[in-house]
Amino acid sequence: MTVQSIATGAAWPTPSAAKAGSPNGGAFAKVLEDTASTPAQSAASRPVVNGRKLATPPLWDVAHDPATKSFSVEKFTQTLKADTAKFAEELQERLSAAGIDTSVPVTFDVGADGSVLVRGEHPQKEAIERLFADDPEFANRYRMIASGNALAATFHVASRYVIDWNEADDDKERHSVWERHVAFNQNLERVSGQLTLSGGSLTSPATQMAANFLGVPASLLG
């Protein structure tokens, strides 16, 4: 699956735009345009700021094929899985080195100001948050991993949207499909910055939400 193919058939239409056989336009198309097509640019076409070309995360570049102008979701999720595991290992090491009890699960989130926070009443909350506040690059890596997992979840559900839309018998059913998928996207947005570290592994609630929505084990989503 590629972003190019998703953008062609998986965009979420608004009710007023819902017509048989035309699942295009709407919120998801904007998501793809902003978060997929734009970052997946060749080095030559990247924007220049203060005389320097902006770099895109390796997570995007490895999945982008400039020859076909497509973005492979399979490559993206494979790379994301490896990057998430690597980041989890380093995070575990940093927490242990700081004297933080890693046997206690930690759920992270991203605040309105972009800071990495600890959700809930963790006994060493302040010390954990300080690790990220003192290392902006490490915090940025967290944000990239968390948002990447949320985006991967969106891609997986987008595939189901195409199926559900095309299998709908009439405009009423297509409207129901639209409502169900938009509601999912709104709920996903609320957890898009979250990851939980437990047992040395990082898990994404966005991935679990997508798995529940699709009725499949989370392990099948990469």
The pLDDT tens digits of the residues spanning 89-110 come to 999 999 999 999 989 899 999 9
Residue 159 tokens, joined? 């595939």
Q: What is the pLDDT of residue 117?
A: 95
Q: What is the pLDDT of residue 137?
A: 93
- Tell which residue, 112, 149, 118, 148, has the closest CA to residue 132: 118
* List of residues 6+ apart from 177 with CB closer than 8 A: 161, 164, 165, 168
In degrees, rounded to 5, the angle at the alpha carbon of residue 5 between the alpha carbons of residues 14 and 140 is 85
Q: Are 60 and 39 in contact (CB under 8 A)?
A: yes
Q: Are 60 and 148 in contact (CB under 8 A)?
A: no
Residue 72 tokens, joined? 């492979």
Q: What is the pLDDT of residue 221?
A: 74
Residues in the chain predicted with pLDDT less than 50, given as ranges, are 1-56
- Tell which residue, 117, 92, 87, 86, has the closest CA to residue 105: 92
Which letter, b or e, does each residue of 36-60 get, where b requires 16 or more Cβ atoms within 10 Å of its Cβ?
A: bbebbbeeeeeeeeeeeeeebbebb
pLDDT per position as a tens digit, 109-150: 999 999 999 998 888 999 999 999 999 999 999 999 999 999
How many C-beta neighbours within 10 Å does residue 208 have? 16
- Enumerate the domain spans of the chain: 3-221
Cα four-point dihedral sign 24, 25, 28, 32? positive
